[in-house]
Structure 1
Amino acid sequence: MWEDSHNILGGKWSLEFPKSAHKQTDPRLDEVWLEVLLCLIGEGFNEFGQEICGAVVNIRSKGDRISVWTADANKSVANLRIGEILKMRTRYERQLKYEAHETSQRIAKHKEHLYTLLASRPPNHKPTRRSCVF
């Protein structure tokens, strides 16, 4: 998606759904995908919706993924709020990770995440620019 001129400076939030030992899809995948779509068409991202370029679901053998693409990875307030809304509306229980497209192009195997919304607050956690707990 970063080939699109509207999204070249952007990034994506990724919601990952690992497959079971029997390669079964997580039963919540359809429910979460539907909620993402409803947020997109129903203005669920409030004033930050204009920063979203699109969403995609990838079905793969190792695990499935839903990604929500944003226009500018440098707009930290908008990107963090979009992530917070995603986590809240989908009730996603795992870590939610944001990655800039330039990072995913440069480093395919060792990804650097700009932001991570943690599943739960670890002991003695001190929030930083790169992590928030909800």
Structure 2
Amino acid sequence: MVVEGTPKLLSTSVAEDKPNPNTANPNSRPRGDEEDEGPEEGEIVDEDESKRSSAVLLQPHPLEHPWTFWFDNFSAKSKQATWGSSMRSVYTFRTVEEFWSLYNNIHHPSKLAVGADFYCFKHKIEPKWEDPVCANGGKWTMNFQRGKSDTCWLYTLLAMIGEQFDHGDEICGVVVNVRGRQEKIALWTKNAANEAAQMSIGKQWKEFLDYNDTMGFIFHEDAKKLERAAKNRYSV
């Protein structure tokens, strides 16, 4: 799946003209033939410029931060297992090209099994409340009908890794939770108490995705203490 405007690698290979094996005289050539065997006498060829052009076309597009995909399917484990014990990192990508190579070869939310959690977090930040970077943070959450979050998941990833948020430094990562009747996409941030930054992120996220429903922001601290009884501190 390729979104219009996404940088793509261009091929620099050029097909070579091959001689016709049925030609009676391989040394003869019809008048006006445009095949060029090499520069004519006095012609200047800039080989360095040619090499530079090829290098530019093949040069990858680095992201500002490396990002890591994580996967967890807690429902497939024993109920006595500790949350996060089955979570594992999948792959870390650092360029636009690596992202698309991964995205085009992994399941989208609608194809994941019920109970699956799929994360994309800044490299070296674990998607857990206990991670020092996440400990004082919180999350914005969007809700979707089962199988309806694929496009918003992609656009969220693009906005996040493309540094489209004014307070991008506040963002830890994003997770999609696949459940029986719905899918949830949650954007995790660092400093929950920074209301101005959180409100900016929430409003921009809704604008990027053209999401019309009200969504709320829950502090991780509240979620740890109150679990499902935790209430939204902010809403947009």
> Structure 2-normalised TM-score?
0.45
Q: Which residue of 1 aligns with 2:73?
A: none
Whether 1:106 aligns to 2:220 is no
Whether 1:31 aligns to 2:151 is yes
Offset of residue 96 of structure 1: 1.2
Q: Which residue of 1 aligns with 2:207?
A: 88
Q: Which residue of 1 aligns with 2:186?
A: 67
> Structure 1-normalised TM-score?
0.78
Deviations 1:95-119 (A, max 9, x none): 11100001111112322101111xx
Structure 2: distance between partners of 1:108 and 1:74: 19
Counterpart among 134, 140, 163 of residue 43 in structure 1: 163
- Displaced runs of 4 or more, over 4 A: none
Deviations 1:9-54 (A, max 9, x none): 00000011144xxxxx22xx111111110111111102x0000011
Whether 1:4 aligns to 2:131 is yes
Structure 1 residue runs of 5 or longer lacking an equivalent are 20-24, 118-134
Structure 1: distance between partners of 2:174 and 2:141: 10
Q: Which residue of 2 aligns with 1:17?
A: 144
Q: Let me know the Cα RMSD of the aligned residues.
A: 1.0
Larger CA Rg, structure 1 vs 2:
2
Structure 2: distance between partners of 1:5 and 1:18: 33
Q: What is the percent sequence identity of the aligned residues?
A: 35
